[in-house]
Structure 1
Amino acid sequence: MSYDVYLAHVVGHRDGPIPLSYALVAGTTALYASFDALRLRWHERRFDARRVWRALPRFTQRLCDHPLLRRTLRLFGLALTVLTLTVLTTGYGGKELGPGMVFVLFWVGLVPASLLFGPVWRLLNPLRTLHELLALLMRTDPDKGIRPLPDRLGHWPAAVGLLGFAWLELAAPARGSASTVLLGLWLYAAVQLTAAAVFGSRWFERGDAFEAYSSLIASLSPLGRSPADRRLVLRNPFNGLSAVHARPGLTATVAVMLAATGFDSLANLGWWKRLTEDVPEPLARSAGLLATVLFVLGLLWASGRASGRLSRDGSWTSALMAPSLIPIAIGYVIAHYSSVLVLEVQRFFDVFFVTGEHGSTHDGGMAAASYAVPGATLMSLVQVTAVVTGHVLGVISAHDSAVGVLPRDRKVLPQVPLFAGMIGLTLGGLALLYSS
């Protein structure tokens, strides 16, 4: 991220309140203890999407599913989109506000929103609203479109879309400018509406990168739908995660989620800057982002391949591992961007509800609004806890999935490559956070 306020996104430096060595030891110990406990005590699959804690009251169900509320949420999503495009176009509130609304309030904010309320972007998605209007003009069924959506596409469109968005944020020429962000959003909307006109609204579930991203994160939400009757229920988040199907492209989608955050830290390292100082920045960053994605994909593929061979029947694959990587990706986003989200929320409220302009520029050039910045100790704790917790949850999910498919006499050994890969991701993720 190229904006000054975003430099606060990593505070757990090597010389910070929590030393890197302590963080690495804590992460490794937590993962090993989790794996060892699961190995000894967990021999049958326990998570099932059909299991729920309790259904919400019928009044709540009727209210949440009422067409008026659904339409209101769609209009609200459309209004937020118009506001964002207006800020990007006019520069209202300062040149950083528009990109901040896209890359922080929207992108990072989708994580806590989806964890708390489920797949919220499906309810707010302005592209769905525009698609309904387009289908009305074309006189086509908005649900079916012109032709069926091929199942073999799976999550591949979402993976490509997420990679494109990460490139726009981290590697595009003039990536920090509002005009670049605006152009990227318009191009993305054009592609999405064209695909939806052909394949119908089902396209957005897997083709819209942001809707797929929100839905994958929402699989860990305690608020979900019963598979039997679609009622709103409270559930064990692991039961929701178990419902994520290993469709084509799912591994690539999760790999992009992991790699984008990892490369954002990598690109801030001194050795990376020295290595690429003679290469045009967009070219160097584009190559680095792609290489990071391929590295994560390769690590997942190698782990799955080794696990399949150790299982002797190839029943454990990287595709089955992919859902267990979702909590890891969430942990990295929280660790990496939680501080800048706090700052950006304050700036948004300052501009739109308090002063009408950025706190660092109004009142004669002096700061008239003081934004609360999370302390270094607190942010270090948040970062280490988020990364370690994400990996521990990933180990639990992966183990439960593995014991459901692996042979009865080989339920532990095939998981070792996956466990080794998660250890590597933990150590690498913490090292990047502390070094950038």
Structure 2
Amino acid sequence: MTQPSVAVLAHGLGGSTDLPIPYSYALIGAAWALTLTFAVVAFAWRTPRFDPDRPGRPLPDWLTRAVDSQISRAVVAGLALALAIWVVIAGVAGPQDGRNALPGAFYVLLWVGVPALSVLIGPVWRVISPIRTVVRLIPSRALRGYPEALGYWPGALGLLAFVWLELASPNPGSLTAIKIWLACYAVIALGGALLCGPRWLSRADPFDVYSVVASRLAVFSRNRDSGELAWVNPFNHLRTLPVRPGTLAVLAVLLGSTAFDSFSASPDWRNFADGLGVSPAVTRSIGLLVFVSVVGLSFWGASQATGGIDRARRRELPGLMAHSLIPIVVGYVFAHYLSYLVEKGQQTVIALFGLHDVEVGYVLSAHPGVLASLKVCFVVAGHIAGVVAAHDAAIRLLPSGHQITGQLTMMLTMVAYTFTGLYLLFGG
């Protein structure tokens, strides 16, 4: 089996080469889907239907006891810590070339795999985080509380640091660069946890924050009154996203960086960047910041462009509506990184555990029509879910005379996100 190069592992798979669906067909389908969805919810959905306090259907008691067992959690955390140590050893002692498993573990299993698992079963990083495990093993008391005014801003900056390394740094596949990033992450995460307690990890650990955001689409959660595990409506679960300073910034980084990853692979971007005559790292850094800023400012502006509310409520709207971006983020991330996760993930596991006799199953690349259809479905389904979540939030938050007109700018913004996402996946 031919080993993948480190540089390839440093980027997601996107573009139109493996998507044999005409771009115009994808746009027409998305336009009809969003228009019909908005029409239905606008005229048939007059009262809020999603309630984060609504209990779900309880799962068997033995399952809740097994998940909450200190023994089972210690075993899972211990295995995750052992895997993290093994990855570090492989990165340091393994071959310092494209055969090294560290980039794949970093860019595939951690960055794509953990959020994907969180969408399925919940915020898994809080259980498997090696930093949390180490903090539990160190007998110490926090020297001060976490400054609540910081909210999720440290986590948003950590996410931006990761995507900068992946998408804009001079050599994202460099083993040295990855090791330095991980060392800085470990020092900041561990030092902050020892200073401010575990709440630092909940707010400032970028992987923890990402896992929590993705988990709001999971069908598993806990009933608030009893704490038991339950099947829940994901739309009810979405509304449990904590509204703190920096919540919108986190989602803007996730969506904007994924969009830039697609755009930076297009010929238009390459021709533009090459014509500037400056360092590619500089142009990519500026491009990444522009994409993240456009997502954040456009959503903020759409949230502000409504009448009938006072100034205090207007300031709160971006955070109160931010959960409606989660389906869009998850849909676009899955569309962009699906083949990356499935196929590069296999290559990473093979390299990490020395399973050289195992062949990679290119199940998606071998069926480009299926892959294309899945990508379109992820993008369109994510945006439809976003429209539904935004509508329900709007009729809950806006006065009766503005519940429809107040949503028009948000609807147009989400349409723009849809068309831009499909263009980057197909037309770009």
Q: TM-score, normalised by structure 1?
A: 0.90
Any conservation in 1 of the 2:248–2:296 contact (CA below 8 Å)?
Answer: yes
- 1:45 is the counterpart of 2:44: no
- 1:330 is the counterpart of 2:322: no
Instruction: Output aligned runs, 1:168-247, within 5 Å.
Output: 168-247=165-244
**Counterpart-to-counterpart distance in 2, 1:380 and 1:96:** 31
Amino acid paired to 2:145: P
Q: Identify unmatched segments of 5+ residues in structure 2.
A: none
Amino acid paired to 1:133: L
Instruction: Output aligned runs, 1:313-328, within 5 Å.
Output: 313-314=310-311, 315=313, 317-328=317-328
Any conservation in 1 of the 2:10–2:173 contact (CA below 8 Å)?
Answer: no
**Counterpart-to-counterpart distance in 2, 1:223 and 1:58:** 14
Cross-structure match for 1:73: 76
Any conservation in 2 of the 1:44–1:403 contact (CA below 8 Å)?
Answer: yes
1:376-423: per-residue Cα shift (whole Å, max 9, x none)?
111111111111111100111111111111112221100111000000
Alpha-carbon distance, 1:96 to partner: 5.5
Aligned residues: 417
- 1:126 is the counterpart of 2:130: yes
SS of 1:49 mapped into structure 2: coil
1:146-173: per-residue Cα shift (whole Å, max 9, x none)?
1111221111111111001111111122
Amino acid paired to 1:4: V
Alpha-carbon distance, 1:113 to partner: 0.5
Change in 2 beyond 3 A, CA 1:347/1:258: same
Cross-structure match for 2:66: 63
2:373 to 365, 381, 386: 381
**Counterpart-to-counterpart distance in 2, 1:319 and 1:7:** 30
Alpha-carbon distance, 1:313 to partner: 3.2
SS of 1:263 mapped into structure 2: helix
Cross-structure match for 1:101: 105
Cross-structure match for 2:402: 410
SS of 1:257 mapped into structure 2: helix
1:36 to 39, 49, 64: 39
Amino acid paired to 1:292: F
Alpha-carbon distance, 1:348 to partner: 3.1
1:25 to 13, 28, 34: 28
Cross-structure match for 1:364: none
Any conservation in 2 of the 1:89–1:179 contact (CA below 8 Å)?
Answer: no
SS of 2:402 mapped into structure 1: coil
Change in 2 beyond 3 A, CA 1:7/1:58: closer
1:119-160: per-residue Cα shift (whole Å, max 9, x none)?
0010001101222334x2xxx33xxx1111122111111111
Any conservation in 2 of the 1:49–1:227 contact (CA below 8 Å)?
Answer: no
Alpha-carbon distance, 1:346 to partner: 2.1
Cross-structure match for 1:112: 116
Any conservation in 2 of the 1:306–1:414 contact (CA below 8 Å)?
Answer: yes
Deviates more, 1:173-182 or 1:411-420: 173-182
Alpha-carbon distance, 1:66 to partner: 0.5
Cross-structure match for 1:299: 298
Amino acid paired to 1:162: L
Percent of residue pairs identical: 35
**Counterpart-to-counterpart distance in 1, 2:334 and 2:272:** 29
Q: TM-score, normalised by structure 2?
A: 0.92
Alpha-carbon distance, 1:294 to partner: 1.1
**Counterpart-to-counterpart distance in 2, 1:42 and 1:96:** 53
Alpha-carbon distance, 1:20 to partner: 0.4
Root mean square deviation of aligned Cα: 2.1
- 1:9 is the counterpart of 2:13: yes
